[in-house]
Amino acid sequence: MWGLCVGTLVIISITQYWIYRWRNPKCNGKLPPGSMGFPLLGETLQFFTPSTSFDISPFIKRRIERYGPVFKTSLVGRPLIVSTDPDFNYFIFQQENKLFQCWYPDTFRKILGRENLADLHGSIHKYVKNMVLNLVGPESLKTMLPEIEQVAQRTLQQWSCEDSVELKEASANMIFGLTAKKLIGYDSNESKEDLRGNFDAFIGGLISFPLNVPGTAYHKSIQGRKRVLRTLKNMLQERQAKLRNTPIDFFDYVIEELEKDGTLLTEGMSLNLMFALLFASFETTSVATTLALKFLSDHPLVLKQLTEEHEMILKQRDNADSGLTWEEYKSMTFTFQFINETVRLANIAPGIFRRAMTEINFKEYIIPAGWTVMVCPPAVHLNPANYEDPLDFNPWRWEGMEKTDASKNFLAFGGGMRFCVGADFAKVQMAVFLHCLLTKYRWKVISGGNIVRTPGVQFPDGFHIQILKKEDACMTEKHETTST
């Protein structure tokens, strides 16, 4: 009996000490304020609680109000510092590979796999980044512009023949088709592999609770990624067996790099690079495109000025039907303001992760070595100190700085050395799509358009619209007026 009592007391004491240490991590100074939540689980469930607002997530907002702009928490078993402070964010990005290193939670990295872009640092990261810039840098985009316009025109023509289009899915298919062809020569109409469908499985659990059990979104995500990589590896091996003399797509350039003496590229890195480029190119841009049309539908004055800008481009041409030029693209001043405002409110990336490589002093706080810091773009983009009436959709706020890429107060495409190399590609696709849509078509909303953040942006009911050619829309309106 006495032995059982003593044993129980020992277990209770150990448990209490463990809980105490969990809630009060060791530190050589003062940690930022905050709560570590429950042991192991931390505050993960609260972080993933859905929100239906464009505002800062309730999880972040409540903690800013209670603890200030920098606070500690724990997500999926890892201690974490959340930063909504523009000065600290800027410092983090400027100290990349010095005091901080790109890092993502273990669960996230397991989905992305080894040798993913987030795990590349220093010279190898610069090497791969330059490879990607050769594909989607300004000079390449100039030559790609006609093809992007043709794809947009062809897609809109197809949509105009349908009674209803679910914009998020349809725009994702359009962008994926273009990117997959340019990257790996993939055509869904000619291939037996459902590459796009496997990406859907991957995306469904990318930002989900990390429970790797069959049937969960997280498990489906891992399996979807494996299927995509298996397909890419088969395509790479087939291409290597019949190497072309003149490179045609990015796969050819990758194979050339793999065969060079002293190359830094490995097969695993190249497959993960293809995977990341395909995923990043269509998922985030399709979300932004869908939100862009939602905002236009809700703001007629914005729609009017944007339409006038694109119609003026046609009026100033000698031939209105000639293709869009790079100079015309660069002249789309209000369009760039509109895109900036769309991605500011969209906040597609809810967090950007870095790991402290050494102990760091920030104001009166200490960030221990090895701890993760999550920069929170939504808290910066929706801060009234940075943007007047931050929840209002107002493209005119960007007048005079329409070409802003990154700053302390604008992190839509990341910051520092890890600034998104595909940012220009995304802007070109959105701008060209808007040009083709606004000059030749109109649309009306059928249903949906509501968003849910979990914490990534989702459209639970889709966003269903009907696309009409302008002449057809005018005839329909005239008929309706006559009937009335």
Annotated binding site: 420
Going by the DSSP 8-state scheme, the letter that residue 116 receives in this structure is -
Per residue, the 3-state secondary structure of 428-449, as one string, reads HHHHHHHHHHHHHEEEEEEEEC
Please state the residue numbers annotated as binding site for heme.
420
User: Residues 86, 106: contact at Cβ < 8 Å?
Assistant: no
**Strand-by-strand arrangement of the 463-469 sheet:** 165-166, 463-469, 441-448
Q: How far apart are CA 330 and CA 29, in angstroms?
A: 51
3-state helix, strand, coil in the chain (%, to 5): 55, 10, 35
* Interatomic CA distance for residues 258 and 260, integer angstroms: 6
Burial of 172 (0-12, 13-18, 19+ CB in 10 A): buried
Contact in structure between 199 and 224 (CB atoms under 8 Å): yes
Strands of 78-83's sheet in order across:
70-75, 78-83, 372-375, 352-356, 100-102
51 and 351 in contact (C-beta within 8 Å)?
Answer: no
Measuring CA to CA, how many Å separate 80 from each of 359, 374, 409, 430? 14, 7, 22, 35
Tokens found for residue 479: 């008929």
Residue type, 239: R
Residue found under tokens 């944007």: 306
3-state secondary structure of 46: helix
Question: Helix, strand, or coil here: 267?
Answer: helix
**Contact yes or no for 309/334 (Cβ under 8 A):** yes
